[in-house]
């Protein structure tokens, strides 16, 4: 079964790829308000087309935003990349690879890819979004990768239920959480291995997937070949790449990446005042509704006196997209958009609208999504020091002439 579907991957991610980032294809302006906003793009990364280079090691590659206007599914070669540690395997032998399942289980498992692929499969579409997507637009500026809006992508995933794998191992009474680890390693001796966990009930809900196909093809190495955890509706910090180890725990996970990192204020909307201290925090988890104009870039010129056709993409977060409305008067009035095909509640969804002819001058397009859970994007920005959970209505400013 591995045959041509899951071949040996021998891909160099070292000096050649890193040097390639210096050969910029072009410079893009992300229009970040708090600092330098120009970034180079590069096609030097293995299995990737032109990507915005936020960082070379570990690789942080942003999807150019015009890609999102081409369809709701992000091509694998334009799918964003985010690693925490720079020691990433450059070659994985699919035939020799094993997924280990251990901890509070009846029997230890060491599963080959053939064994996993012989299990019953599931498939669905789901947006993979970095917790810090759009961090570069926070004001005041916060620490961390200054992403634009392209630290997200959408794919149709194929794999097996995590629940089925856990059931094969036999989860024992008293299990509290399931922890995942991958093949990447810290570059420093005291660096904490990157691990994330889910409560046992979530891990066994039948939706969490161990994926081996992305848009019908084996996962690109930079997106987690050969296996990746898919947690639909949740931020990608839980979507462990190069998954190699699953451990069933008898208590809540207190490793660094759960207890210290990726935490948000336990306040409405994760919002606090800059400089605030003393508030409780919780691990970031569920995504929230978002929407963007894709038909027009920031600063684009459009003709006056003609109807203005716009389109974009929306996501419902941990639910589907119920509706999208558009405003050109700062939110005083709204026009309902027409929704495109529903690819599933965790997918991007296209929207389109034809607006009345605008007058000459500056025009701000505002899209606002409402999810099937009844959550509508806020007009007001939030702030927290992690630059997480941005979900406000995102403006696109154009010039009418």
Give the model's pLDDT for residue 296.
Answer: 98
Give whole-number Cα distances, 302 to 21, 47, 125, 295, 296, in Å: 34, 36, 34, 11, 9
- Whether the bond into 226 is cis, omega within 30 of 0: yes
Please say whether the beta carbons of 391 and 134 come within 8 A: no
Where are the alpha helices (H) located in 187-243, listed in sequence order?
200-203
Please say whether the beta carbons of 189 and 212 come within 8 A: no
Confidence of residue 25 (pLDDT cuts 50, 70, 90): confident
Give the model's pLDDT for residue 3.
Answer: 37
Please say whether the beta carbons of 202 and 208 come within 8 A: yes
Q: Against a cut of 0.75, is the pTM above it?
A: yes
Please say whether the beta carbons of 307 and 355 come within 8 A: yes
Give the model's pLDDT for residue 98.
Answer: 98
| Average confidence (pLDDT) over 128-154 | 98
| Average confidence (pLDDT) over 67-80 | 98
Quick one: CA torsion of 70, 130, 317, 299, rounded to 10 degrees?
-50
- Exposure of 36 in the CB half-sphere (CA atoms within 13 A): 6
Give the model's pLDDT for residue 24.
Answer: 67
Phi-psi region of 119 (alpha: psi -120 to 50; beta: other; left: phi over 0): beta
Say if strands 99-103 and 243-249 run parallel, antiparallel, or are unpaired: parallel
Alpha-carbon span 326 to 330, nearest angstrom: 10
Give me 60's structure tokens.
């942080």
pLDDT at residue 19 is higher than 70: no
| Average confidence (pLDDT) over 267-295 | 98
Q: Where are the extended beta strands (E) located within 78-201?
A: 81-82, 91-92, 99-103, 109-111, 122-129, 152-161, 177-182, 195-199
Confidence of residue 62 (pLDDT cuts 50, 70, 90): very high
Give the model's pLDDT for residue 6.
Answer: 52
pLDDT at residue 199 is higher than 70: yes
Exposed / middle / buried, residue 304 (Cβ in 10 Å: 0-12, 13-18, 19+): middle
What single DSSP character describes residue 4?
A: T
Alpha-carbon span 137 to 150, nearest angstrom: 12
């Amino acid at each position: 079964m591995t045959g041509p579907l899951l071949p040996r991957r021998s891909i160099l991610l070292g000096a050649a790829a890193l040097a390639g980032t210096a050969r910029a294809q072009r410079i893009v302006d992300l229009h970040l308000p708090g600092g330098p906003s120009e970034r180079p793009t590069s096609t030097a990364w293995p299995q990737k087309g032109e990507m915005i280079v936020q960082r070379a090691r570990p690789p942080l590659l942003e999807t150019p935003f015009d890609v999102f206007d081409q369809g709701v599914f992000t091509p694998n070669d334009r799918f964003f990349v985010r690693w925490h540690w720079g020691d990433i395997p450059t070659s994985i032998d699919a035939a020799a690879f094993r997924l280990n399942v251990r901890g509070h289980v009846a029997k230890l498992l060491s599963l080959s890819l053939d064994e996993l692929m012989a299990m019953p499969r599931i498939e669905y579409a789901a947006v993979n979004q970095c917790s810090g997507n759009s961090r570069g637009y926070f004001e005041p500026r916060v620490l961390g990768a200054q992403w634009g809006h392209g630290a997200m992508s959408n794919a149709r995933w194929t794999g097996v239920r995590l629940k089925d794998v856990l059931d094969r191992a036999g989860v024992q009474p008293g299990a509290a959480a399931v922890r995942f680890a991958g093949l990447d390693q810290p570059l420093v001796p005291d660096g904490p291995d990157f691990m994330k966990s889910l409560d046992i009930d979530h891990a066994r809900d039948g939706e969490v997937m161990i994926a081996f196909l992305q848009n019908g093809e084996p996962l690109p190495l930079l997106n987690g070949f050969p296996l990746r955890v898919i947690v639909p509706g949740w931020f990608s910090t839980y979507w462990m790449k190069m998954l190699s180890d699953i451990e069933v725990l008898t208590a809540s996970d207190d490793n660094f990446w759960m207890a210290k990192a990726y935490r948000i204020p336990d306040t409405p909307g994760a919002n606090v005042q800059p400089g605030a201290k003393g508030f409780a925090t919780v691990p970031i988890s569920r995504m929230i509704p978002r929407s963007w104009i894709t038909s027009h870039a920031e600063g684009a010129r459009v003709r006056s006196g003609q109807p203005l056709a716009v389109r974009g993409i929306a996501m419902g977060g941990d639910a589907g997209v119920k509706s999208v409305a558009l405003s050109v008067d700062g939110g005083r009035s709204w026009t309902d958009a027409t929704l495109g095909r529903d690819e599933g509640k965790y997918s991007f969804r296209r929207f389109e609208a034809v607006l009345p002819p605008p007058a000459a001058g500056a025009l701000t397009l505002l899209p606002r999504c409402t999810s099937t859970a009844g959550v509508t994007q806020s007009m007001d920005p939030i702030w927290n020091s992690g630059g997480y959970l941005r979900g406000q209505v995102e403006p696109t400013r154009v010039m009418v002439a």
